[in-house]
Amino acid sequence: MRANRTLWIGLIAPAAVAFVAAAVWLRRPAADEPAVNERPGEPGTYETRFDAMGTRGRFQAAAPGAAAARRMFGHALREVRTLEDLMSTYKPASEVSRLNRLGADGPVVLSRDPMAVIRKSVEVARLTGGAFDVAYAPLRTLWRRAQNDGRVPTDADVRKTLETVGSDKLIVEGDTVRFGVRGMEVDLGGIAKGYAVDLATGILQREGATAGIVDLGGNLRLFGEPPGGGKWRVEVNPPPGATEDIILALPPCGIATSGDYERYFTVGGRRFSHIIDPRTGWPVEAMPSVTIVAPDATTADGLSTGVSVLGVKEGLAAARKAPGVECMIMSRRPDGSLEKTMTPGFEKLIDSVTPLRPGPDAAPAGEAREGG
Ligand code: AMP
Ligand code: MG
């Protein structure tokens, strides 16, 4: 009896304590795993929200439990942050910042992802007749300076800057990029979020998620079937002055909305869009809202920015040329009211159009909101 108790206290109890501690330690969220919650009314569907790439993000996925969701969301989020570290021009150590410093001196080797984004960007530039162009960035620098100085650039300044603009002056060879003209710069801000969405989606799928949503600042990828089956219902973020609430019913796809109402800058009291027309050198009179549905989020992101530059007629024509792409543009009439124009295929994606109910929760519960 006594020997038994000694054995229990001396050996088994510490082992039991160690076992419990190890179990707790193993189940704890790792330091870089995000907090997840199960969506109310949707058992088995988990979500997490985060900030990345200068915007708000959200992952939603069907997973076998909270721990599994935490693990896959952690991996997908790490991928998004890695892509940001590689491609952000706000980070001096990023590969794209390095390209911008050294690209005129000779070929700069880039890793797989920045290279893939640049190749895709050149494709979207062709599709949009150069309206979408990641090599527009010297204009961004020009207009930032204008903002600091408080006056718009002179025509001569714009003309001179345009000599360093255009992806036709990018020399893309193997895994290298070189600038054909000194003074060139690239900025992947109009397409990198969509690319990150596609890569994060791939990770969630590889790690067992059968369905879900990846959203980075209004660039979405929908995969699998929504909880309860059928199509994904996504609300188009209504621009200011919208009187209608548009809900789309979508198969798995990429979708992006660009709008001029969230990001802009002012020079000498005038308000300018953050989207610049590489053909004129001037910020565009951006569309209140351009929504693109495409096979993937990279295409949707690039095209939504490009169509914002092109305007209604040219923009729709460009969208129609792209395989699997549908487009809806909300433009402003002279009296300030909004006018919707869309490709015939987009019409078939509209689930409902109802008078807009005020307030931030215009979408019925459980729906993805989508914004630009
Ligand atoms: P989005 O919010 O996807 O429409 O992208 C807007 C961002 O694209 C801007 O903040 C810039 O970083 C970048 N951008 C602006 N003008 C252009 C352009 N003409 N072509 C490609 N990217 C652009
Ligand atoms: Mg875009």
Give the up-direction half-sphere exposure of residue 3: CA atoms within 13 A in the CB hemisphere: 0
State the pLDDT confidence band at 16, using cuts at 50, 70 and 90: low
Cα(277) to centroid(ligand 2), Å: 14
Q: How far apart are CA 280 and CA 139, in angstroms?
A: 10
Contact 302, 295 (CB under 8 A): no
- pLDDT band at 88; cut points 50, 70, 90: very high
For residue 139, the ligand closest to its alpha carbon is 1
Q: What is the pLDDT of residues 57-70, one digit of tens each?
A: 999 999 999 999 99
Query: Ligand 1: which atom is nearest the Cα of residue 131?
Result: 19
> What is the reported pLDDT for 9?
65
Q: Give 319-366 pLDDT, tens digit per residue.
A: 999 999 999 999 999 998 999 999 999 999 999 999 986 655 444 333
Can you give the pLDDT at residue 371? 40
319 Cα–ligand 1 center, Å: 17
Q: Express as a percent the part of the chain with pLDDT over 90.
A: 78
- Which amino acid is it at 307? V
Query: What is the 308 CA–ligand 2 centroid distance (Å)?
Result: 9
Range name among 120-134, 183-197, 280-294 with the lowest pLDDT average: 280-294
pTM of the model: 0.89
Pocket of ligand 1 (CB under 6 A): 132-134, 136, 187, 189-190, 258, 274-276, 278, 301, 304-305, 308-309
Range of weakest confidence among 83-97, 232-246, 250-264: 250-264
Burial of 92 (0-12, 13-18, 19+ CB in 10 A): exposed
**For the CA of 290, the nearest atom of ligand 1:** 4
SS3 (DSSP) at 88: coil
Length of the chain: 372
Instruction: Tell me which residue has tokens 């569907």.
Output: 45
Starting from the CA of residue 309, give the closest ligand. Answer: 1
Nearest CA to ligand 1 atom 23: 190
